[in-house]
Amino acid sequence: MSRLLEPLTLRGTTFAHRAWVSPMCQYSCDPDTAPGVPHDWHLVHLGSLAVGGAALVVTEAAAVVPEGRITPHDAGLWNEEQAAAWARIVAFVHSQGAAAGVQLAHAGRKASTHRPWSPVQGSVPAQEGGWVTVGPSALAHGDLAVPAALDGAGLRRVVEAFAAAARRAEQAGFDVVELHAAHGYLLHQFLSPLSNHRTDAYGGDLAGRSRLLLEVLEAVRAVWPQDKPVFVRLSTSDWVEGGWDVEDSIELARQLAARGADLVDASSGGNDPGQRIPVGPGYQVPNAGRVRREAGVPVAAVGLILEPAQAEQVLVSGEADAVFLGRPLLTDPRWPQRAALALHDVRAVAWPPQYVRATREDVPLVQPRG
């Protein structure tokens, strides 16, 4: 059996194989009639990836509070209407034999922006549906609006909001929650000395800058079922001199594991417009490998992992325990099934009975989860 197609068990959850759907924002909710509520687009988008054989389908960033959305069109998990809408999607993902995960997020100073394809970019003004953003310090991200620095009460509300969203995720039937502490969003903003200039207990040294993320993790772990895993997505480097780096990530990963995190989703960048990222196939894999080896925690690699043979090599070489796929799945939602054919193990991946003829084998039918 190939390494890519081997099962992986974290706590009481077993993933059929190690090719997983990375969170990918869709910016497609209706901010006027149903803010933050996923709908048919999300069902078809995520459902098609489950049909394609992914072992774990993780949603886009779901904001834990309205002001935590990147754009007014973002999905959320701050109320029961959203939880009920997610439950419909989770049920379909499960029916295809896949596990379902939700990424919980707060955009912080990068919130209240226009969608990427909007002809206008930057911050959305209040008269057009925007809001005042928050961050660790009153420092803007590039040309975006200057955020308000969170006070003690604001910090407590953030922690409580993540925990409340995790409770709703359990109600919706999700198997995994992932805390988004990467890509320049709020929890990453606290981690990085480039964006966190605080002088209180939530700033300064690594311990202070990590405090909010660790408090969020502890609050989520306290309400999330003990037999279900919690992932944390980290930007393992700011790609800016003097910023957050892989050595910081290794130390933080040890602390995350000690507090109940089960896997680090190792990405990078997003916190500073001055970043210089050496983008290329597998460009983030070396940092993932260092975190895995030096922190001794399970790690998923992500970032231009394009072909099955490449993904297989990442795992065989010990750089990661699983791979998250984004853009390759947008161009080919059947990537996991294609990988199973290429690696000569079609039985390792779920095939809907309607598609079994593509295997030229009598493979077992999909077994629904839950």
Would you list the DSSP string of 241-268? TTS--HHHHHHHHHHHHHTT--EEEEE-
Question: pLDDT digit string (tens) for 194-222?
Answer: 999 999 999 999 999 999 999 999 999 99
> What residue spans define the domains of the chain?
8-359
Query: Cα dist. 323→88, 233, 236, 297 in Å?
Result: 26, 13, 16, 15
Q: Answer yes or no: is pLDDT of 315 > 60.
A: yes
Question: pLDDT digit string (tens) for 92-129?
Answer: 999 999 999 999 999 999 999 999 999 999 999 999 99
**According to the model, what pLDDT value does residue 359 have?**
87
Rounded to whole angstroms, the Cα distance separating 264 from 169 reads: 19
- DSSP-assigned beta bridge partners for residue 63: 76, 105
pTM of the model: 0.96
Q: What CATH fold (topology level) applies to the domain 8-359?
A: TIM Barrel (3.20.20)
**According to the model, what pLDDT value does residue 366 have?**
65
Rounded to whole angstroms, the Cα distance separating 47 from 58 reads: 11
Q: For residue 271, what pLDDT band results from cuts at 50, 70 and 90?
A: very high
Question: pLDDT digit string (tens) for 146-185?
Answer: 999 999 999 999 999 999 999 999 999 999 999 999 999 9
Average pLDDT, the chain: 96
Do the bridges between strand 99-105 and strand 176-181 make them parallel or antiparallel, or are there none, so unpaired?
parallel
Q: Tell me the longest C-alpha to C-alpha distance in the chain.
A: 64
Q: Answer yes or no: is pLDDT of 370 > 70.
A: no
Please say whether the dihedral angle defined by the alpha carbons of residues 242, 192, 273 and 250, taken in this order, is positive or negative: positive
**According to the model, what pLDDT value does residue 364 have?**
63
State mean pLDDT over 231-253: 98
Q: Answer yes or no: is pLDDT of 369 > 90.
A: no
Cβ atoms of 305 and 279 closer than 8 Å: no
Tell me the catalytic residues.
185
